[in-house]
A = this chain, B = another copy of it.
Amino acid sequence: MVEPGDRQRAVTVADVARRAGVSKATAARALGDYGAVSDSVRERVQAAAEELDYRPNELARSMNTGKSKTIGVIVGDIENGYFGLAMRGISDTAKAAGYDVILINTSEDVRTEIDAVRVLLDKRVDGLIVAPASSFETGHLRWVGEAGRPLVLLDRRVAGLEAVSVEVDIAPSAGAATAALLDAGHTRIAFVSALQTEGETYSDRLELRVSSVTDRLAGIVGALRSRGIEPSAELIRFGAHGRDRTRSIVEDLLDLADPPTAILASDSLIALDVLRTLKDRGLRVPGDLSFVMFDDFEWAALTDPPLTVVAQPIYDVGVAAATILLRRLAGLPHGDVDAHLPATLVLRDSVGPVPVRA
């Protein structure tokens, strides 16, 4: 069936037209069903296309329609179940609308993100979904609008940018998680995040690069203060990216003169490393330390002990982001307002009473 020669040159409309005995323009019309074509010609052209196994070159098509039927997605780390699930939501939604997805991973590095935006724009994606690594350095995000393409922010918002963001309304649940800890008698509550800051420790003035972390902290600090507890800078830690760094932060926390009796982990990757460190130190949860993780995955109910978590509707965040982008691409109304999905506190067994000091 397939001759060795086939593989080189692709079949074009011109080939189909020649075979059907019509002009290129007519063949294109019959194939793309636009304009007027007589039934007989249409059939003849379609038959020719069939015989030649014609496949349109989407690149060429994109070039003069200006549309590529592709959306770009830029995230910090697909390996993180959070983005994996969101990606799935985006991907499913996009596919249903006939769009494809180009994924770029930034490792939460702004430089990489800048390159990614450039590349995707150069490739003429129709729109972009970005989980920005920084809400400060956002010049490249502006390029998207300047190129006339819609942008939807995932999980994080950026002030002063004409882009809709889809976020999880995490502060209330962060507050609820903290309240649960407070109710159990904890007052020394630590928070560990992967976010990189410029070596600064927490204070009211500290502005964070990532809104989703800011929100977590706002919820936690709010709950603390409502019980008259002033957040302690030594218990709020950033820079826990990678196993080693997380480990040393946790070690550091445990070696404090007045160590925390509870830890909140900003995401599941950190949570795993924190738990592993605790385990290595022979500390039991919740016997020696209480623990809460942001994000819920199926394994969180199967750990020892099952983890109390702040569950986020991540898949739906992806779906919402893609839906808004797709609506904008279709010229449909989309509310033009940031979307907020609710998070919920799921109580399991990793929160317990404060241990009696030895």
On A, residues with C-beta under 8 Å from B are 2, 6-8, 10, 55-60, 62-63, 68, 70, 77-79, 81, 84-85, 87-88, 91-92, 95, 100-105, 118-124, 142, 145-148, 272-273, 275-276, 279, 297-299, 301-305
Contact = CB atoms under 8 A, between A and B. Distances in A.
B92 A84 contact: no
A38 B148 CA distance: 35
A145 B87 contact: no
Contact of A100 (B63, B88, B123): B123
Given A118-B55, A272-B302, A275-B302, A147 B63 contact: no
Contacts of A87: 78, 103
B84 A79 contact: yes
Nearest to A102: B102
A81 B272 CA distance: 15
Contacts of A6: 146
Given A298-B272, A299-B299, A59 B123 contact: yes
A145 B4 CA distance: 10
Contact of A124 (B59, B142, B305): B59
17 contacts: A6-B146, A7-B147, A55-B118, A58-B119, A58-B124, A60-B63, A70-B123, A79-B84, A81-B81, A95-B105, A100-B119, A100-B123, A272-B302, A275-B302, A276-B301, A302-B303, A304-B305
Contacts of A276: 298, 301-302
A288 to B, nearest CB: 16
Given A58-B119, A79-B85, 8 more contacts: A55-B122, A58-B122, A77-B88, A78-B88, A79-B84, A81-B84, A91-B103, A297-B299
Nearest to A304: B304
Given A59-B124, A148-B7, A272-B299, A103 B103 contact: yes
A299 B303 contact: yes
A56 B118 CA distance: 10
Contact of A102 (B88, B101, B124): B101
Contacts of A122: 55-58
Contacts of A272: 298-299, 302
